[in-house]
Structure 1
Amino acid sequence: MPAKGAMSSPTRTPPASVTLEKQPAVDLDGVRRVFAAGSVVALDGVSLRVDPGAVVAVVGPSGCGKSTLLDLVCGLQAPDAGTVRSPAPAARGAATGAVLMPQGDTLLPWASALDNAALALRIAGVARPAARERARVELEALGLGQFADARPAALSGGMRQRIAVARTLLSGAGVICLDEPFGALDAITRADAQRWLTATLAREPRTVLLVTHDTEEAALLADRVVVLSARPGRVVADIPVPLPHPRVATDAAVVAVRAEVLAALEAGR
C-alpha cells in the first residue's frame, strides 16, 4: 500500500502481442555494432521486436551495449550489420519519432526547473504559457512543484533526473528511450517516480525502452524484460511480464519474475 502522500497508479494492462498485420513500433534484426576499428564488438546479432504501447526493460552487465542499443533505436548511431526500424526523429509539432533520455540529466543550467521540463513542448511549437502549465502538472506529480523556479545548480542529482524524465515524457514522441532514468534516486523517491511513470503511461500510452540495472524496477514497470549477455551483447532471454498494474515488489509473481531475470543474467555472464 503506498505511503501517505504517495501518488497512486491507475491500472495499466500490458498490450496484446503484435499480430502479423500490425507493424511493430521498433524492430531490430540481426544488429551488430562495433567500435575501435572493429576491435570492440558492443552488440552482435541482436534481434528485438517491440509492440506499440509496450514497455520493454533491457538489462545486462555493464558494458554489454545497452546504451548503444538505445542510440541505434533513436538514430544516433547506425548498425554495422543488420537492420533497425524505428520512427524517424519527431518533426516540429509531431507526436511521433523516438527520443532518448541519456544517463546524464542534460538540463539547461540557465533555465528554471519548470522551463527545463517544458523545453520539449516549446521545441514542438507549444506556446510558452501552455507548455509551462503542462510541465507544472508533472513537476507537482513528481514532488517538485515547490522547486519550479530553481536552477539546476540548486537541485540535487535526483531532482534533476526527475525533471529530465518529465521533459522526455512531455516530448510527445511515440517511442521513449530511457537510460537508467531513476538510477540517481533514493529508494523512496524511486518508488514514487516509478508510480508516476506507470500512471503517465496509463493515461498516455507510449512505447518505452527502459535500460536499467535494477531487476526489481524491470519487474515492476515492464511488459517484457530483455536480458543481454556480457559483451558482445546478445539477447539471452526475453521474459514476458503479463501482470497488471499497480504491482508490488513483494508480490510472489513479481518476485518470480526477478528470479527469472537474475537467472538469465547469471547464465549470460
Structure 2
Amino acid sequence: MSNSHPGHKARKRFGQNFLQDGNVIRRILRSISPKPEQHLVEIGPGLGALTEELLAATGHLDAIELDRDLVPILRTKFFRYGDQFRVHEADAMQFDFRSLCQDQQRLRIVGNLPYNISTPLIFHLLSFNELIEDMHFMLQKEVVLRLAAGPGENNYGRLSIMAQYFCQVDNLFLVPPEAFHPAPKVDSAIVRLIPHKTLPVVAKDLEKFQDVVRIAFNQRRKTLRNNLKELISAEALESLGIDPGLRPERLGVAEFVRISDHLV
C-alpha cells in the first residue's frame, strides 16, 4: 500500500494502484492496531505509505515485494530501521510464510492485494493458517463481498466457504477509487480474516472437502443432485439430511463437511 514516487510508474502487469489518501491510511491503521511486540508482514508495500505507519507503530516489519524496481526505493526510504525492516523480493503466491516464523509468534499479515491474484493468494495463505494471527487486506469490493457472504446470498460461493472454514471474516469498510493513484475502475474494501483457533467443524479429509465444494459450484445454477452425481447419490444426500434439490449456495460449511466426510 503506498503513496507516489517521482521515479516509479504504477505497473499494469503487477496490478499496481498506490494508496495515497491519508484518512484511509489512518483508518486502516486503526483497524489493524499494530503493537511493537507483534510480528507484522506486509504483502505488496508499493511505495510504503502504510509501511511508514506500521514501522512507526512497531519498529520492525517484513515486507514481500514482487516489483524489483520498488525494492531499492523501499530500502532507501526506511534505511534508518536497519535490519528491523526486511524486504523480501519475492512472489507472495510462492512465498513460504513459515520462513518468517523464527519463534512461536503468529504473523499479522497486511496487504493491498492486486485484483488479479487476490483469490489464489488468499487460498495460498490459508494453507499457513496455524501460523497466522489475523489478516487485513484491501481487495476489490466484490471479492470482500464473496469472502463475507453467508448461505443463500448472491455472492456466496467456493471462496466464502473455504475462507469461513478457516476464518472469521469481517467486511470492515469501503475505499473509493479516488483514494488511489492511478484510480482503479472499481471500489475496494478492507476485510479482516481471523483464523479460528479451533475449527468450528473439521473435515476428515481437507482435500476431499475442497473437491466437493469446487465440484458443487462448477455450475452454481444447477442442483446438488446434478452437480454432485458423480460423487454421491441423491439418496445418500437425503440420508445426511440434505435436500438434493437444493442449489449449492443454500448449504453452509457444516453441510459440505458432512458430504465430504461421507465420501472418505
TM-score range (shorter-chain normalised) is: 0.3 to 0.5
TM-score by length of 2: 0.33
Name the structure, 1 or 2, with higher relative contact order (CA <8 Å, separation 6+). Answer: 1
TM-score (norm 1): 0.32
Q: Which structure has greater helix proportion?
A: 2
Query: Which structure: larger Rg?
Result: 2
